[in-house]
Amino acid sequence: MLGLYLHRDSPIHRLGAGVKMGGLLAATLLVLALPGAVGALGAGLSGLFALWLAKLPLGRVLRELRAPVLMLGLLFGVQALVAGTGWADTLAAVARFAALILLATLVTLTTKVAAMVDLFERVFAILRPLGVNPAKLALMLALTIRFIPLLAEQVREVRMAQQARGVERSIAALFVPLLVKILRLADDLTAALDARGYDPTDDARPGTSPNDAVGPNNKEAQPPC
Amino acid sequence: MLTTRDLVLSALFAALVAGLGMAPPIPLGFLPVPITAQSLGVMLAGALLGAKRGGLALLLFVLLVAAGLPLLAGGRGGIGVILGPSGGFILAFPVGAFVTGLLAERFATGANPLRLFAVCVAGGILAVYAGGIPWLSVVAGMPLEKAVTAMVAFIPGDLIKAGVAAAAAAAVRRAGVLPTAHA
Amino acid sequence: MPNPSITLRAVSHAYGDRAVLRDLSLTLTERRVAILGGNGSGKSTLARMLNGLILPSAGTVTVDGLDTRRDGRAVRQRVGFVFQNPDVQIVYPTVEEDVGFGLKARKMPKDEIARRVTAALDRYALARYRHQPAHQLSGGEKQLLAIAGVLVLDPAHVVFDEPTTLLDLRNRRTVIQAIRDLPQHAIVVTHDLDMVMDFDRVLVLEDGRVVIDDAPSVAVPAYVARLG
């Protein structure tokens, strides 16, 4: 899967995650606010320039964008048919979102996950009074990114098994092993986080850290292997 | 308070929803649009993890999409897509999982597939549409009736997904590997 | 500091009605200890008890005098744990970030983390993958990454749960060498009889009890004979 950090020595890579995400947000609002495809054209061209500046493989990135743009075309096409919007508007809408996806891809390719997660942690610190724990949220985001390739692979296997057996057979029966595997994986992962010194009470606010909450939850544990 | 296991389960199901988006879409002959499996993930997360952990799983997913990761079906991602016409559906995913979980905790605690199906329809379809359709209407500038009509095409596929999610959730519950959904 | 030691006193453990460990008393001080045994013999449960991942139903486990029940956090800082499947152990998306995870959890300053991570990556020839996604590594490299992520925390003991079971021959050799070179006290649960031949002590578990406890030259042939 492309779309995750690709290491290069470039000025774009060195920019802070906050700057890049802020820029992406600003560009998005601008492109959506400007009429027609003007913003899309501007954003698309600056995106291509930044891509070159970041020393990223232009052809590969653009090829990766083909699928989402096709999908967008399909979505907006159906919408144009149903709602009767003009084709010029539809084309402009596809162009806008294609340009925005290019910019978003640029940000993900040049920003380390850890930097992105740190940014989230800082941004969500403002929600601390509401009981949000930014450090926990950050860890969960990193874990999610780590497990996407693993689960995508598992889902692909399930789909292949579906095709091999014929889709009309029980799809549910094929999802069950996948889900059971995920729930078992959760047991091991929890143990691994514990073993590596992660302590869910560490980042709790002072005075809310009951000591006996530390450690394994034997009640829920399954016997290993 | 979230335990380490809660964090892990939410993250795993968030990754599952992303994984479901990366698998090739299921083409359904009688519909013009390929059905993607991501809303299946909404229902599964709610039904199996409960309101809190399921809602959190989808919240993680939405945050990563907003951060620009290409996790939506077809490789889309970024704040632009969220602000676009289909953004309401994406933003409603966490709510859908939360509602599915809440109802499952009340009305479908066992392995009865019919009850689970009802819960998945309420959370994974009704709650998600309730967020997505008005958004579609406003952003795409189409009257609400037209937005509703446009969505009718998706209902059969979503009902199939609710059926799959309910059957799978029931089977997993029968297998007894489910982490108890205690608070 | 006294020699590192892990002590079990009258330890029993059961999952529901099923007893997996029965009244074990052991003191582990040798530099290389192997635990052998068939599936369901209780060896994985025993391994997880050594760093407090599982608390015994009865009896106590102490690590350098610290009780796993009372001092869970301190015990986990002293005892590193390497799982059979490195995929469950790697928690961050890229190699560098993952090695730094445990250090970050300990709130270590950033430049100290960077220094230690570099040293660990160099040691296991992972430096060239520093910025790469962890899921692209080979099985053996993933296991080395898992080991690096544990050793960077500088534990006094390292417990391995079947570290070579999922590896091909070449990767297996690399991981065995890595374990051999460890300066730490190592306890290795394994099916790999070749690996344990130069260990200092071999325990064989059967149905939750220690049935053989000897040097490998005696214990391994006795174990093979028992298997019939």
pLDDT digits (tens, 9 = 90+) for B59-84: 999 999 888 888 887 777 788 788 88
Q: How far is A92 from chain C (nearest CA, A)?
A: 36
Say yes or no for a CB contact (<8 Å) between B76 and A108.
Answer: no
% of chain C residues with pLDDT over 70: 99
Within 8 A of A154 by CB-CB distance, chain B residues are 19
A130 and A203 fall within a common domain: yes
> In terms of DSSP H, where are the helices of chain C?
43-49, 72-78, 86-89, 95-105, 110-123, 139-151, 169-180, 216-227
For A19, phi then psi, to 5°, come to: -60, -45
Strand C6-15, strand C157-161: pairing = unpaired
Within 8 A of C85 by CB-CB distance, chain A residues are 188
For C107, phi then psi, to 5°, come to: 60, 40
A133 and A179 fall within a common domain: yes
pLDDT of the residue at B26: 56
Q: Is A152 within the bounds of a domain?
A: yes
Residues C204 and C212: beta-carbon distance below 8 Å = yes
pLDDT of the residue at B24: 61
Say yes or no for a CB contact (<8 Å) between A216 and C52.
Answer: yes
Q: How far is C-alpha B162 from the chain's CA centre? A: 10
Q: Does B183 touch chain A (CB under 8 A)?
A: no
pLDDT of the residue at B23: 66
A107 and A15 fall within a common domain: yes
The Cα-based distances of C163 to A20, B52, C84, C177, C191 in angstroms read 41, 36, 5, 12, 10
Of residues A110, A92, A115, A11, the one with CA closest to residue A56:
A110
pLDDT of the residue at B33: 43
Q: Which residue's entry shows tokens 């993930």?
A: B41
Residues A65 and A101: beta-carbon distance below 8 Å = yes
The Cα-based distances of A46 to A67, B81, B83, B179, C165 in angstroms read 21, 19, 21, 49, 51
A132 and A211 fall within a common domain: yes
pLDDT of the residue at B25: 59
Q: Does A200 touch chain B (CB under 8 A)?
A: yes
Distance between CA atoms of C215 and C221, rounded to whole angstroms? Answer: 10
Report the CATH number that the domain containing residue B20 is assigned in CATH: 1.10.1760.20
Residues B62 and A144: beta-carbon distance below 8 Å = no
Neighbours of B154 (CB within 10 A): 18
A98 and A149 fall within a common domain: no
Phi-psi region of B31 (alpha: psi -120 to 50; beta: other; left: phi over 0): beta
Closest Cβ opposite residue A82 in set B8, B71, B146: B146
Distance between CA atoms of B134 and C88, rounded to whole angstroms? Answer: 42
Q: Does B175 touch chain A (CB under 8 A)?
A: yes
Average pLDDT estimate for C56-63: 95
The sign of the CA dihedral A151, A153, A159, A165 is negative
Strands of C18-28's sheet in order across: C18-28, C6-15, C58-63, C66-67
**pLDDT tens digits for range C95-111:** 998 899 888 888 889 89
Phi-psi region of A162 (alpha: psi -120 to 50; beta: other; left: phi over 0): alpha
Of residues A13, A32, A27, the one with CA closest to residue A107:
A13
Domain extent, residue A173, equals: 120-221
Q: How far is A122 from chain B (nearest CA, A)?
A: 14
Specify the number of domains making up chain B: 1
Strand C201-206, strand C32-37: pairing = parallel
Domain extent, residue B91, equals: 4-175
Residues C80 and C157: beta-carbon distance below 8 Å = yes
In the predicted structure, residue C1 carries a pLDDT above the cut 70: no
Q: Which residue's entry shows tokens 């006193």?
A: C9
pLDDT of the residue at B29: 43
Burial of C206 (0-12, 13-18, 19+ CB in 10 A): middle
Say yes or no for a CB contact (<8 Å) between C133 and A4.
Answer: yes
- Residues β-bridged to residue C188: C34, C160
pLDDT mean across residues, chain C: 91
A91 and A136 fall within a common domain: no
More confident residue, B33 or A8: A8
Q: Is A1 within the bounds of a domain?
A: no
Q: Is A5 within the bounds of a domain?
A: no
The sign of the CA dihedral A78, A81, A83, A86 is positive
The sign of the CA dihedral C21, C24, C29, C33 is negative
Q: Is A215 within the bounds of a domain?
A: yes
Pick out chain A residues at pLDDT < 70: 1-4, 79, 82-85, 159, 161-174, 202-225
Q: Is A37 within the bounds of a domain?
A: yes
Chain A residues with CB-CB distance to C under 8 A?
Answer: 4-5, 7, 112-114, 142-143, 145-146, 149-150, 185, 188-189, 191-199, 202, 214-216, 218, 221-225
Q: Which residues contact C13 (CB under 8 A, 6 or more apart)?
A: C19, C20, C21, C42, C45, C49, C54, C56, C57, C58, C208
Residues C145 and C95: beta-carbon distance below 8 Å = yes
pLDDT of the residue at A165: 60
Q: Is B90 within the bounds of a domain?
A: yes
Last residue within a domain, chosen from A111, A130, A147: A111
pLDDT of the residue at B51: 95
Distance between CA atoms of C48 and C53, rounded to whole angstroms? Answer: 5
Say yes or no for a CB contact (<8 Å) between B68 and A186.
Answer: no
Of residues B86, B84, B83, B104, the one with CA closest to residue B21:
B86
Residues C161 and C114: beta-carbon distance below 8 Å = no
Distance between CA atoms of B69 and A42, rounded to whole angstroms? Answer: 22
pLDDT mean across residues, chain B: 84
Please name the residues between 11 and 50 in chain A that touch chain B, using a CB distance below 8 Å: 21, 24-25, 28-29, 31-32
Q: Which residues contact C12 (CB under 8 A, 6 or more apart)?
A: C19, C21, C22, C23, C24, C56, C57, C58, C59, C208
Q: Return the C-alpha torsion angle B12, B95, B116, A154, nearest 10.
A: -20
Q: How far is C-alpha C18 from the chain's CA centre? A: 24
Specify the number of domains making up chain A: 2
Q: Is B182 within the bounds of a domain?
A: no
Q: Is A3 within the bounds of a domain?
A: no
The ipTM is 0.87
A64 and A136 fall within a common domain: no
pLDDT of the residue at A222: 53
Last residue within a domain, chosen from A65, A93, A111: A111
Q: Which residues contact C42 (CB under 8 A, 6 or more apart)?
A: C13, C20, C21, C205, C207, C208
Q: Is B157 within the bounds of a domain?
A: yes
Average pLDDT estimate for C11-24: 92
A185 and A102 fall within a common domain: no
A69 and A16 fall within a common domain: yes
Distance between CA atoms of A180 and A201, rounded to whole angstroms? Answer: 28
Last residue within a domain, chosen from A111, A132, A153: A111
A143 and A212 fall within a common domain: yes
Q: How confident is the model at residue B110 (pLDDT cuts 50, 70, 90)?
A: confident
Domains of chain C, first to last: 6-227 (3.40.50.300)
A98 and A151 fall within a common domain: no
